[in-house]
Amino acid sequence: ALTAGIVGLPNVGKSTLFNAITKAGAEAANYPFATIDPNVGVVEVPDDRLNRLAELVKPQRVLPTTFEFTDIAGIVKGASKGEGLGNKFLANIREVDAICHVVRCFEDDNITHVAGQVNPAEDIETINLELALADLEAVDKRIEKVRKQAKTKDKEALAMLAVLERIQPVLEEGKPVRMLDFTEDELPIVRSLFLLTSKPVLYVANVSEDEIADPESNQHLQTVKAIAAEENAEVVAISAAIEEEIAELDDEEKELFLEDLGVTEPGLNKLIRISYDLLGLATFFTAGEKEVRAWTFKKGMKAPQTAGVIHSDFEKGFIRAETISFEDYDKLGSEKAAREAGKLRSEGKDYVVQDGDVILFRFNV
């Protein structure tokens, strides 16, 4: 499964956030995973569409889809010089598909800041620099190799070299590769390099609990937003401490607490949704009397592959996907009504599944 890794300097609120995630997950359901990596937190993906489908179909059970966060331990500063825990930090980042970078934006004199004061720009730079240096080392080596090949006028080598030479100066400035815009031709080459700084990033601005109703007034958040805009990253403002409290409440208490705080939903929900989106993930639904369920697929996947998310037999024996868009289902109220209105499409093996599709797969056994 694709996963987002949580990183950040010491004392910014990573553990607090990760605790909130694991508590929210444990609270929500019994997951069928026998043993779970203590560094992995499984959460349900909040989705109003699932609730609406459940309301319409009234099934025996409702199952949301899930999503994994990974807590990335290790020492940040000096990581690219590569010893022990620093190396582990980079290796762990290499394994995740997106990065949630927690940045301290709350002032609290009782909690020491590693750099002496709250300074999100500097914090972000510290981590980005380590990752950029690690990437630069790889790119430098690669350039040397490819230059030799390119002398023979090998087309692929020349294309690779051109990309590497665009990337190198950015890394030399300590900046992430994701700030570059690549062409359709360049993108596969960039992906093949598996660089740390080309992974998608979500900055998690950890603001103080009394700012959560109006985080925009926090100047540090504005700093983080400016940086994110420059490097094609996303931002979400949360209070990790509050999220940990929310995760411990039952639904009724939760609602009251959120109302008190002046917000409509937990910040964690936003964090989950944006991470999900960053990873290029989307949701389709199955809706029967026994079960209404949300499933995760990767955007761009065709119908048979998507059927394989449910069961490999569905993919092998795929015949067609009877599909209703969520919007139509919502409007018309049932599968029957959608069928009668001509809104149930019979899609074949080349159909690219869309976010929100409600699907019944037909397959041979």
Nearer to ligand GDP, 12 or 134 (CB): 12
* 11 known member of a binding site: yes
* 70 known member of a binding site: no
Could you tell me the smallest distance in angstroms from the CB atom of residue 202 to ligand GDP? 16
Q: Answer for the pair 186, 164: CB distance below 8 angstroms, yes or no.
A: no
Q: By the criterion CB under 6 A, which residues form the site for ligand GDP?
A: 8, 10-16, 106, 108, 111, 206, 208-209, 239-241
Nearer to ligand GDP, 10 or 333 (CB): 10
* 14 known member of a binding site: yes
| Cα 296 from Cα 64, distance rounded (Å) | 10
Find the DSSP H helices in the chain.
14-28, 48-57, 84-95, 120-150, 155-172, 186-192, 219-230, 240-247, 251-261, 267-278, 303-310, 312-316, 326-332, 335-340
Could you tell me the smallest distance in angstroms from the CB atom of residue 9 to ligand GDP? 7
Nearer to ligand GDP, 111 or 341 (CB): 111
Could you tell me the smallest distance in angstroms from the CB atom of residue 241 to ligand GDP? 4
* 336 known member of a binding site: no
* 225 known member of a binding site: no
| Cα 125 from Cα 103, distance rounded (Å) | 11
Nearer to ligand GDP, 110 or 152 (CB): 110
Nearer to ligand GDP, 95 or 108 (CB): 108
Could you tell me the smallest distance in angstroms from the CB atom of residue 124 to ligand GDP? 14
Token output for 256: 């009251």
Token output for 338: 């959608």
φ, ψ at 361 (rounded to 5°): -85, 135
| Cα 142 from Cα 282, distance rounded (Å) | 35
Could you tell me the smallest distance in angstroms from the CB atom of residue 18 to ligand GDP? 7
- Of the candidates 215, 213, 211, 263, the residue with the CA atom closest to the CA atom of residue 236: 215
* 296 known member of a binding site: no
Known binding-site residue numbers for ATP: 11-16
